[in-house]
Amino acid sequence: MTHSVLKCHYCGAEYTIDRNIYTCDKCGNILDVYHYDMEYSLTGLKGVWKYKNLIHPGINEGTIISKGEGNTNLYSNSRISEFSGIDKIFLKHEGENPTGSFKDRGMTVAVSEAMRLKFNKTLCASTGNTSAAAASYSSFAGIESYVIIPEKNISANKLFQAIAYGANIVDIEGDFDSAMDNVRKTIAKRNDFYVLNSLNPWRIEGQKTIIYEIMEKIKPDFITFPAGNLGNTSAFGKALMDLKSLGVIDDVPRLVAIQAEGASPFYNYINGKQESIIPVKAETIASAIKIGNPVNYKKAKRSLEFTRGIVEKVSDDQIMEAKRAIDRAGIGCEPASAAAVAGVKKLRDAGIMHKGDTVASILTGHILKDVSIIPEHKTLRISDIF
Ligand SMILES: *Cc1c(COP(=O)(O)O)cnc(C)c1O
Ligand SMILES: [Zn+2]
C-alpha cells in the first residue's frame, strides 16, 4: 500500500500529512510530499486525477474538489516551427484549464486537501492566476478565500476573476514579493488559514501531471516553460524523477526554465553559481513571472540537477515577439507564457538547441488573461472590401 508523508529533502525529517505545515520544523526548508511504495497505475478518472496514484493516492475519491482540470492540448504548428527554428516543437496549452491557467492543476489537489483537513478559509499571495484559481476552487468547495494582491501589479482580467468568484481581496502596496512576505508572516502567527501558494507541497503534486501528460504523447529532448516562483520547475523535476524511478521512461528530457530579464534571480543563482539566491526588484511586462524572490528555488535547483537543466532569460521585446507569433498562429497565450517560446528561439540561435530536436513548450495561461495592450492593427472600411 502506498503511504504518503511530508518529507524534508534536506535533513530527512518526516511529518504526517495530517499536519498543516509547509516548512521543516528542524531546518526550515520547504517540505515535499513523498509517497512510499508508489505505483504507476492510472485511475479511470479524467485529467489530473487520472494520476491520483502518483499525486495523492490516499485521498477518498468522493471528497475530491475538481472542475475537470488537465488533459490539455499539445499543438504543433508550422508558424511556430518557423519562428523558433525547431521543426518538432509542441505547445502544451495550460490556458485551456477551467480558470485559464495551469494553477488549476495544483489547486484541485490543494483545495481537496484543505477540505480533508477541515479548513474553512484559504489564503494566498498572487500575481493574478493563483488568486483566480484559489477563489474559484475555494468557492466551489464552499469555503472562503483570502487573496493578497499587489493591485497595481496585476492584470485587470485576473483581478476581475478573483472578485467575481467571490474572494476576499486584500490589497497591499508593493509587489508580489511583499504579498508573499505577508502570507509567511500570517502563517507564522496563526494556523487557521490553509495556504494555496506553491510552497504548499500538494500544489506541486498536481502540477506534476503536466509532465505525465506530455511524456505519454511524445519523447522531448527539452521541456521549456516560464519561471517565476519556481513551483513548476520544482514540480516538473519531481514528475520526471517519479517516471524514471518507476521505470516508465528511460531518457530524461532537459528542463529549461525561462525567466524575464528584469526578474531573473534564479538565472543569476544557477548560472552565477551563487551560494544562495539574491532577491531582485522585479520588472517585466510579463506580470505572472514578475517575481524577485522565488520561494521554491532550492527544490527548483534539484530539478535542474536531475535533468541537466538550463536557465535562460529573455527580454520583454523577445517575449512580445514570441507572443505575436503564438497569437497569430491562432493558438494564443498571455505574455508570461510566451517566454517559453522566446527562450527556445534564443537557445536555437545560440546553438544549444538544434533544428532536429523535439521540444515541448508550456503555455501557462490563456490569451484573455491580460488584454491591457491591444496589438497594433490595421482597420478596413466596408468600401475597401466590397
Ligand atoms: C504562475 C504563473 C507562472 C509562473 O510559474 P511558477 O511556477 O511560479 O514559476 C508562469 N506563467 C503563468 C501564466 C502563471 O500564472
Ligand atoms: Zn529539514
Q: Quick check: 1 pLDDT over 90?
A: no
Please give the single-letter amino acid code of residue 211: I
Centre of ligand 2 to C-alpha 6, Å, is 11
Average pLDDT value for residue range 230-243: 98
Q: What is the pLDDT of residue 2?
A: 84
Q: What is the pLDDT of residue 209?
A: 98
Q: Quick check: 151 pLDDT over 90?
A: no
pLDDT band (50, 70, 90) for residue 53: very high
Q: Quick check: 373 pLDDT over 80?
A: no
User: For residues 361 and 89, what is the distance between their CA atoms, to the nearest angstrom?
Assistant: 7
DSSP 339-363: HHHHHHHHHHHTTSS-TT-EEEEEE
pLDDT tens readout for residues 89-130:
999 999 999 999 999 999 999 999 999 999 999 999 998 999
**DSSP state at residue 190:** -
Rg of the chain over Cα atoms, rounded to whole angstroms, equals 20
- % of residues, the chain, pLDDT over 90: 89
pLDDT tens readout for residues 126-136:
989 999 999 99
- Which ligand approaches the C-alpha of residue 27 most closely? 2
> Do residues 368 and 157 make contact, with C-beta atoms less than 8 angstroms apart?
yes
Q: Report residues near ion ligand 2: CB below 5 Å.
A: 8, 10-11, 13, 24, 26-27
Q: What is the pLDDT of residue 11?
A: 96
> Do residues 204 and 142 make contact, with C-beta atoms less than 8 angstroms apart?
no
> Do residues 252 and 242 make contact, with C-beta atoms less than 8 angstroms apart?
no
Residue 210's alpha-carbon distances to 51, 83, 202, 218, 272, in angstroms, are 11, 24, 14, 13, 29
- Which ligand approaches the C-alpha of residue 7 most closely? 2
In sequence order, what are the beta bridge partners of 171?
Answer: 149
Q: Which three cell numbers, joined as nine digits, stand for 272?
A: 552565477
State the burial class of residue 65 (Cβ atoms within 10 Å of its Cβ: 0-12, 13-18, 19+).
buried
- Which ligand approaches the C-alpha of residue 228 most closely? 1
Q: What is the pLDDT of residue 188?
A: 84
Q: What is the pLDDT of residue 376?
A: 83
Q: Is 326 helix (H, G, I), strand (E, B) or coil?
A: helix
Average pLDDT value for residue range 260-280: 96
Average pLDDT value for residue range 203-227: 98
pLDDT band (50, 70, 90) for residue 344: very high
User: For residues 103 and 22, what is the distance between their CA atoms, to the nearest angstrom?
Assistant: 18
Which protein residue's CA is at the shortest distance from atom 1 of ligand 1?
A: 288
Residues near ligand 1 (Cβ within 6 A): 101, 103, 129, 198, 226-232, 288-289, 334, 336-337, 364-365
User: For residues 89 and 53, what is the distance between their CA atoms, to the nearest angstrom?
Assistant: 30
Centre of ligand 2 to C-alpha 14, Å, is 8
Q: Which residues contact 239 (CB under 8 A, 6 or more apart)?
A: 208, 209, 210, 211, 212
- Choice from 229, 264, 304, 361 to test ligand 1 binding pocket (greatest atom count within 8 A of CB): 229
> Do residues 289 and 260 make contact, with C-beta atoms less than 8 angstroms apart?
yes
Range from 22-36, 177-191, 195-209, 338-352 carrying the lowest mean pLDDT: 177-191
Q: Quick check: 351 pLDDT over 90?
A: yes
